[in-house]
Amino acid sequence: MDISTRVRDSVRALSPGYFAFVMAGGIVSIGLHLKDRTVASTVVLVVAAAGFAALVVLSLWRLIAFRHEMRADLADSGRAFGFFTFIAGSNVLGVRLISEGWHSTAAVLLVVAALTWLVLGYVIPWTAVLGSAGRPVLAKANGTWFVWVVASESVAIAAATLQPVYDEFERLLAAVAVFTWGVGLFLYAAAGIFVAARMLQYPLRPADLTAPYWVSMGACSIIVVAGAHIVEMADAPMVDATRGLIAGLAVVIWAFATWLFPPLIAAGWWRHRIHKVPLTYDSSLWSIVFPLGMYAVAGIYLGRADDLPLVGMVGAGELWVAVVAWVVVFAAMLHRIWTRVLRGPAPAR
């Protein structure tokens, strides 16, 4: 099989959740920037931005050449929510670019992401859940459903971060931030109920406990970060009405995110050590790296916004766990691309 065929097959099978790679790189870069690790932060930012550009091209190629496969993903409740990673990836990358002064680029990414969030927020629940011919739909609920929450909160963070830049739109951006933060909070409750019901009503095999279940913790963490940003926003009617409530809820949600660590680690041990499911590279592994980075940034931001130094110390320590995870998974991804796409499998003897 020649390289062009392998590349074409890879595009055909491209996961709709692959923008989690951009989410992971973007949030790790933000964390490193917050701790003044400028060179490392810039390197990860460049990798994330290059990955974003490549994934946009590959996704458009897939949309044009493999529409049937993309429609199948939209109708699959186990995969469709992965499309929300485009929204989250765009906004996380945009927030990091703001630190470099790329305000216009971040604003464009926010507008595109917000409009996509609005459209997919109605389309995907219909195509993948309500309109799905396969029943029961609940049997395919999994950790990717929490990506909808992450996408919502990413819009809130981008809007809050851009507010000081665009004074003429400060009330609009404040309203967008509070609105999407609130929507994301309720979506978390809904996703949590559905995923918990699936785990209680249907057999849970080791193969079912995939990496995206970590997004449940990442979604909590990004709710905290979005809340911390809103607390720090300039005065506006929507912000003034909710600042105290959001600040208090952010602390409570951070505590829940922290509580989720042991069961998620135990689930991974049960899957890979007890039941010997091989731990090999898969694009879903970025769904572990992003929550690790998001939890770190949540601790750093919450520690600053609410004057909680212990929380900030926990976040700073967790950041290095996220950095190591990013390096390991990135190396595994490059190895997979080289051996499976560029070089191809070795011929049989």
143, amino acid identity? G
Six-digit token string for 79: 């995969």
Query: Cα 107 vs. chain centroid, distance in angstroms?
Result: 19
What per-residue confidence (pLDDT) applies to 135?
Answer: 64
Is the confidence at residue 273, as pLDDT, over 50?
yes
What per-residue confidence (pLDDT) applies to 131?
Answer: 65
Nearest to 84 by CA among 94, 75, 74: 74
* Helices 38-65 & 20-34 angle (0-180, nearest 10): 160
Is the confidence at residue 280, as pLDDT, over 70?
yes
Predicted confidence band of residue 32 (pLDDT cuts 50, 70, 90) = very high
Residues 300-318 have a mean pLDDT of: 85
Neighbours of 69 (CB within 10 A): 16
- Alpha carbon distance 268, 204 (integer Å): 13
Residues 85-97 have a mean pLDDT of: 97
What per-residue confidence (pLDDT) applies to 37?
Answer: 95
Is the confidence at residue 347, as pLDDT, over 60?
no
pLDDT above 70 coverage of the chain, percent: 96
What per-residue confidence (pLDDT) applies to 132?
Answer: 62
What per-residue confidence (pLDDT) applies to 341?
Answer: 84
Least confident of 72-81, 113-122, 298-307: 298-307
Predicted confidence band of residue 348 (pLDDT cuts 50, 70, 90) = very low
249: Cβ contacts below 8 Å, ≥ 6 apart: 185, 227
Residues 322-336 have a mean pLDDT of: 96
Is the confidence at residue 333, as pLDDT, over 60?
yes
Is the confidence at residue 349, as pLDDT, over 60?
no
* Domains of the chain, residue spans: 18-55+72-342
φ, ψ at 203 (rounded to 5°): -55, 135
What per-residue confidence (pLDDT) applies to 133?
Answer: 60
Is the confidence at residue 137, as pLDDT, over 60?
yes
Q: Superfamily assignment of 18-55+72-342 in CATH?
A: Voltage-dependent anion channel (1.50.10.150)
Predicted confidence band of residue 127 (pLDDT cuts 50, 70, 90) = confident
pLDDT tens-place string over residues 172-205: 999 999 999 999 999 999 999 999 988 888 887 8
Average pLDDT, the chain: 91
- Alpha carbon distance 143, 168 (integer Å): 39
Name the residue with tokens 């009503």: 201
CA triplet 215, 53, 161: central angle to 5 degrees?
60
What per-residue confidence (pLDDT) applies to 115?
Answer: 97
- Alpha carbon distance 2, 107 (integer Å): 41
The predicted model scores a pTM of 0.93
